[in-house]
Amino acid sequence: MSNAESTLSIFSLGGINEIGKNMYVVQYSNDIIVIDCGSKFPDESLLGIDLIIPDMSYLQENKQKIRALVVTHGHEDHIGGIPYLLKKLNLPIYATRLTLGLIEVKLKEHGLLGESQRVIIDSDSNINFGMMQLSFFKTNHSIPDCLGVVFHTPEGTVVHTGDFKFDLTPVNDQYPDIHKMAEIGQKGVLVLLSESTNAERPGFTASERIVGQNIEEAFSKATRKVFISTFASNVHRVQQVVDAAIKTNRKLVLLGRSMVNVVTVAQELGYLSIPEGMLVEASEINRLPADRVAILCTGSQGEPMAALSRLSRSNYRSAEILADDTVIMASSPIPGNERNVAHIVDNLFLLGAHVIYGSGNVTGMHVSGHASQEELKLMLTLMKPKYFIPIHGEYRMLHQHRQLAVSVGVQKENVYIINNGDVVDINDSVARQTRKVHAGNILIDGLGIGDVGNIVLRDRKQLSEDGMLVIVITLSKSEGIIISGPDTISRGFVYVRDSEDLMKDVNRLVVTTINSLQEANVNRWNVLKQSIKEAVSQYLYAKTKRRPMILPIIIEV
Amino acid sequence: MSNAESTLSIFSLGGINEIGKNMYVVQYSNDIIVIDCGSKFPDESLLGIDLIIPDMSYLQENKQKIRALVVTHGHEDHIGGIPYLLKKLNLPIYATRLTLGLIEVKLKEHGLLGESQRVIIDSDSNINFGMMQLSFFKTNHSIPDCLGVVFHTPEGTVVHTGDFKFDLTPVNDQYPDIHKMAEIGQKGVLVLLSESTNAERPGFTASERIVGQNIEEAFSKATRKVFISTFASNVHRVQQVVDAAIKTNRKLVLLGRSMVNVVTVAQELGYLSIPEGMLVEASEINRLPADRVAILCTGSQGEPMAALSRLSRSNYRSAEILADDTVIMASSPIPGNERNVAHIVDNLFLLGAHVIYGSGNVTGMHVSGHASQEELKLMLTLMKPKYFIPIHGEYRMLHQHRQLAVSVGVQKENVYIINNGDVVDINDSVARQTRKVHAGNILIDGLGIGDVGNIVLRDRKQLSEDGMLVIVITLSKSEGIIISGPDTISRGFVYVRDSEDLMKDVNRLVVTTINSLQEANVNRWNVLKQSIKEAVSQYLYAKTKRRPMILPIIIEV
């Protein structure tokens, strides 16, 4: 049976060797199931880029085979790319109620709500897609309603964990389906795909419940207003903030668009329980006694335009942090955000606030949503897979996850550490990784999808470091002599008023360069421009050790 | 005596509300002593800037009063600004032997060695500067030969700790002068300035010695080559690497310019003891058995051009990391460098190396050089100051340091949390903070010192995010009609080949704008240019959600 018709193929279009833009594919024969379609934020080297999504050309080329997009949970790195996918392909989306609710907010913003086909599933669903049958199991994570996905194929069973931890004392009864997982493992798992975010972290991730206790204690101690910032999508934590506010007799104000959006969806769908009259508008803050109000806001990652950052700069229209108010940072900075978060803390102290900040285990105001090493071993032990593909992590995390798998009995040669696009093919229970499909990044800048390439980014980098110098010269068409100019316009290079001499020297150099070329009877524009560029660039580097972009503009009249 | 003639004034020109560019001033009457002159690296918002140093205009304006620059130790954030200071002012530098050795490397690079006046001091030195007498005490830190400075003034005693920890089992007998500190405190300290880097960190910083034990153990276990990366200036740790190499019978190779520089200076001055024949060139690596060589390299902070980063990309000419080599990261990433360090670890795992990485307390391969909370309390207890000024830290650290001071008995109102430039004046033992001197950042870009201002940076930011569009039009001088153009040149905005239609629309819009202004008889260039800018900018934002810099160039012939 070793032919393409009966091959089980597994690969990733995003999410491996990176944190973000998760997108995995399980294909059996002519049936393709896509799992998740996330986005990620660019690092600082991608100047001006707003968002990155997976290159989906493989899916476009095979669109007649795609049966469904199954979404494990509602985080941006799993749903952020969906609007862009739907603009290219029409495929049905399967997800739990809350996950779909959050996807719908996104589709609405892109004007895609009417056209899309959406199916609500839960952990008891069983769906047939061609020769594959899908079933699910509940996991828990820092957002409710998360699923692991089980693919029953003629070749064997494939399990995709989604994002998970094992919180055995969860908030809102979101227990993980441990018995179901054990049963799946007992029946035999051919391939396990398991997330690797915390594969470097020893031990067992703490329960969300301890955060609730600490929030309640801080609310009780606070003598004036309490501001608390966390991820809007962490509905469990939002519930615990609501509960703490109830217990300490405070009204609750929501600040920040994504906080209002998520709370609205979660409340409508019954994932959040907030008593009537508890939520009040920001305009009410000053009418209430200071010890009767709590403010739940976005910006826990230090995002400069989010509520907490603006509050810390006293730059928020409808609310103000005053001396002796309490501010709780119920989050840990994601790598890369440490400085922004630290500067907010600086500003909050300057305002005289009591600030509860620091890493999760110090303050008890945050726990991770991802499985640590002992939980990853637990998942591997429950599933007892023959083959293991660590996913959802950078290389060192995948590497550590492999060590964990081997430590609980997976054969080392049966662990596939792959890149996005590397395909693991399985025939007759034997896996091989030899072929690749196209995978990559699509950069989104403003309304442009994928129109910013390497040349544009390289130009932005040069412009950002040393600016540019435009040199305008008018030449007579007949004799090739200079009629006017050179005129230099500098942007981002030096402030011209301070550099008149430098600019005069540049102008003289341009004249000399043109004249010497005229004498040699060379007046093709490209040669002229290139010679000016080189001469000016060399001169400026010697004088300033900077390399601005030189843009000669030659007008012939 | 309450007049300027007998006033003791203390302030900072750099180092407060920031980590870096330390520079403090103690002035009594007409005598000024400057402590340290550091630099700092820009954050990513300062596009293209290489280095930041303190604005020294106060010192230039008062140069006849300056008696000395006293340097507490040889780290960049305490010595990096010295060449720029010496270019403006001729003042004698007082520092210990190693500190001066490192300063001299720097002065040589700037061609300033011949002109400068340098005085070697040690912890027993006593120097009179006008009405002030200076004495010193030994501290320990992550570089040898550190000093705390004591200013004996008619108004009372001022103590500046420099950077310190209390390592009671230090390497190379660099013990802190605890008895001397106790004696200074016993005699009475009017003002203490103490560093705040680790004021947020509970407990007592671990001893450098434990790092040595762990390095030795890792060297023993390694079956092939060992690469180890740390700060070049951490001479204690370099010594421990040397010792581990001796014990495990390995030759030592140094990679990276700053590693070679610092080791050379430290060895010449007797701060490092390396047996004859132990150091070998990189070219020897392949001639030695793999288990007989260790490589000490720069790049522990993930700097892309440093040795470790290049090694991790197999992009270093004279050395190569192979499977089963061991790589030790003997450092913690400084906030902001986490991602770069993590990517190096990814690459090292990909090469098949055994990588020992992670935060200091996990691997035992790094300890901080700065005092944690209990040590800060110990310093405050030893010195028993009347007034306390926390220095060398961002605001939240200063705030925490104040809490620590209050907890050991300093009066809260006697703690001055100041900004750079805020002056604490003391007359008749009474302190007041009411006046300011000028303080600020000088940005260094290439050879330019301070010539990059806000306008240039704002332009760089716009250029980096959305690029630019140059629009060239030739108008006839007489009639004002368009002779040639508009021609558009785009850089960093969109790749023109993909955007021909957009560019055609822009050209049409420019023509319409010019014609409508001509009809209204408006042809002043500025109005014309401004109208083109606005029209094109609005159009492009609507079409692309980007705001490139628009640069209209109008040629009249």
Residue range(s) of every CATH 3.10.20.580 domain in chain B: 454-556
Q: Which residues of B touch A499 (CB under 8 A)?
A: 451
Residue B358's contacts (CB-CB under 8 Å, 6 or more residues apart) are A200, B329
CA A235 to chain CA centroid, nearest Å: 18
Q: Give the pLDDT confidence score for residue A127 in this predicted structure.
A: 97
* Residues of B catalogued as catalytic: 195, 370
Mean pLDDT calculated for residue range B71-75:
97
Q: Which residues of A touch B545 (CB under 8 A)?
A: 446-447
The whole-angstrom distance between A487's CA and the closest CA on chain B is 10
Residue range(s) of every CATH 3.40.50.10710 domain in chain A: 208-363
Edge-to-edge strand list for the sheet holding A126-129 = A126-129, A132-139, A146-153, A156-160, A189-195, A385-391
Of B350, B399, B452, nearest to A395 by CB-CB distance is B350
Q: Give the pLDDT confidence score for residue B278 in this predicted structure.
A: 95
Return the residue in B459, B476, B533 with the most chain A beta carbons within 10 A, the one to mutate for interface testing. Answer: B459
CB B229 within 8 A of CB B328: yes
Task: Output the known binding site of B.
Answer: 48, 50, 73, 75, 77-78, 141, 163, 232-234, 366-370, 392, 445
The whole-angstrom distance between B231's CA and the closest CA on chain A is 22
Residue range(s) of every CATH 3.60.15.10 domain in chain B: 8-203+368-449
pLDDT in tens, B182-234: 999 999 999 999 999 999 999 999 999 999 999 999 999 999 999 999 999 99
pLDDT in tens, B140-184: 999 999 999 999 999 999 999 999 999 999 988 889 999 999 999
Top pLDDT among B456 and A389 is at A389
**Model confidence at B498: pLDDT above 90:** no
- List the 255-314 stretch of B: residues with Cβ below 8 A of A: none
Nearest to B384 by CA among B355, B415, B350, B409: B409
What fold is seen in the domain A208-363?
Answer: Rossmann fold (3.40.50)
**Model confidence at B506: pLDDT above 80:** yes
At A84, give phi and psi (nearest 5°): -70, -35
**Model confidence at B255: pLDDT above 90:** yes
Top pLDDT among B370 and A304 is at B370
Judge whether A355 is closer than 8 Å to chain B, CB to CB. yes
- List the 356-415 stretch of A: residues with Cβ below 8 A of B: 357-358, 394-396, 399
Q: Burial code of B272-310, b = ≥16 C-beta within 10 A, e = fewer?
A: bebeeeebeebeebeeeebeebbbbbbbbbbbeebbbbb
The pair of three-digit structure tokens given for residue A235, joined into one six-digit string: 């509905």
Q: Which residues of A touch B470 (CB under 8 A)?
A: 470, 551, 553
Mean pLDDT calculated for residue range B326-332:
93
The whole-angstrom distance between A299's CA and the closest CA on chain B is 18
pLDDT in tens, B107-149: 999 999 988 899 999 999 999 998 999 999 999 999 999 999 9
The answer to whether the CB atoms of B468 and A452 lie below 8 A apart is no
- Give the Cα separation of B240 and B174 in Å (integer): 14
The whole-angstrom distance between B137's CA and the closest CA on chain A is 32
At A56, give phi and psi (nearest 5°): -110, 20
Top pLDDT among A385 and B333 is at A385
The pair of three-digit structure tokens given for residue A457, joined into one six-digit string: 């980014």
Euclidean distance between the first and final Cα of chain B, in Å? 74
* Residues of A catalogued as catalytic: 195, 370
- CATH number for A454-556: choose from 3.10.20.580, 2.60.40.10, 3.30.300.30, 3.40.50.720: 3.10.20.580
Return the residue in B454, B456, B471 with the most chain A beta carbons within 10 A, the one to mutate for interface testing. Answer: B456
The whole-angstrom distance between B50's CA and the closest CA on chain A is 10
What fold is seen in the domain B208-362?
Answer: Rossmann fold (3.40.50)
**Model confidence at B477: pLDDT above 80:** no
CB A232 within 8 A of CB A331: no
CB B373 within 8 A of CB B176: no
Residue B539's contacts (CB-CB under 8 Å, 6 or more residues apart) are B505, B506, B509
In this prediction, residue B543 has a pLDDT band, given cuts at 50, 70 and 90, of confident
The whole-angstrom distance between B553's CA and the closest CA on chain A is 8
Of A200, A342, A464, nearest to B47 by CB-CB distance is A464
The DSSP code for A414 is G
- Name the superfamily (CATH) of residues A8-203+368-449: Ribonuclease Z/Hydroxyacylglutathione hydrolase-like (3.60.15.10)
Give the residue on A whose Cα is nearest the Cα of B337.
Answer: A336
The whole-angstrom distance between A333's CA and the closest CA on chain B is 11
The answer to whether the CB atoms of A448 and B546 lie below 8 A apart is yes
Q: Which residues of A touch B553 (CB under 8 A)?
A: 470, 472, 489, 553
- Give the Cα separation of B541 and B506 in Å (integer): 12
Return the residue in A396, A422, A544 with the most chain B beta carbons within 10 A, the one to mutate for interface testing. Answer: A396
Q: Which residues of B touch A358 (CB under 8 A)?
A: 200
Count CB-CB contacts under 10 A for residue A258.
16
Q: Give the pLDDT confidence score for residue A4 in this predicted structure.
A: 62
Nearest to A510 by CA among A452, A471, A474: A471
CB B292 within 8 A of CB B249: yes
- Give the Cα separation of B288 and B47 in Å (integer): 45
**Model confidence at B25: pLDDT above 80:** yes
Of A345, A456, A493, nearest to B467 by CB-CB distance is A456
Q: Which residues of B touch A457 (CB under 8 A)?
A: 492
The pair of three-digit structure tokens given for residue B311, joined into one six-digit string: 């090694």
In this prediction, residue B304 has a pLDDT band, given cuts at 50, 70 and 90, of confident
ipTM of the predicted assembly exceeds 0.90: no
The answer to whether the CB atoms of A451 and B495 lie below 8 A apart is yes
Q: What is the pTM of this model?
A: 0.85
Q: Which amino acid is at A73?
A: H
Decide the pairing of beta strands A189-195 and A385-391.
Answer: parallel
- Give the Cα separation of A97 and A85 in Å (integer): 20
pLDDT in tens, B403-443: 999 999 999 999 999 999 999 999 999 999 999 999 999 98
Judge whether B468 is closer than 8 Å to chain A, CB to CB. yes
The pair of three-digit structure tokens given for residue B548, joined into one six-digit string: 């490139």
Question: Which residues of chain A have a pLDDT value below 70?
Answer: 1-4, 359-362, 480, 496-498, 521-523
Top pLDDT among A335 and B352 is at B352
Q: Give the pLDDT confidence score for residue B270 in this predicted structure.
A: 94
Of A459, A544, A553, nearest to B447 by CB-CB distance is A544
Q: Give the pLDDT confidence score for residue B486 in this predicted structure.
A: 87
Judge whether A461 is closer than 8 Å to chain B, CB to CB. yes
**Model confidence at B465: pLDDT above 80:** yes
The answer to whether the CB atoms of B555 and A474 lie below 8 A apart is yes
The pair of three-digit structure tokens given for residue A198, joined into one six-digit string: 């915390």
Nearest to A191 by CA among A386, A7, A419, A379: A386
Q: Give the pLDDT confidence score for residue A359 in this predicted structure.
A: 60
Q: Give the pLDDT confidence score for residue B482 in this predicted structure.
A: 81
Mean pLDDT calculated for residue range B311-332:
94
- As a whole-number percent, the residues of chain B with pLDDT over 70 amount to 97
The answer to whether the CB atoms of B555 and A459 lie below 8 A apart is no
The answer to whether the CB atoms of B495 and A453 lie below 8 A apart is yes
Of B464, B492, B551, nearest to A489 by CB-CB distance is B551
Q: Does A369 show up as a binding residue in the annotation?
A: yes
**Mean predicted lDDT score pLDDT of chain B:** 91
Q: Which residues pair with A555 in a beta bridge?
A: A474
Per-residue CA distances from A217 to A330, B200, B236 (Å): 13, 22, 45
Q: Give the pLDDT confidence score for residue B2 in this predicted structure.
A: 45
**Model confidence at B1: pLDDT above 70:** no
Q: Which residues of A touch B44 (CB under 8 A)?
A: 44
The answer to whether the CB atoms of A451 and B492 lie below 8 A apart is no
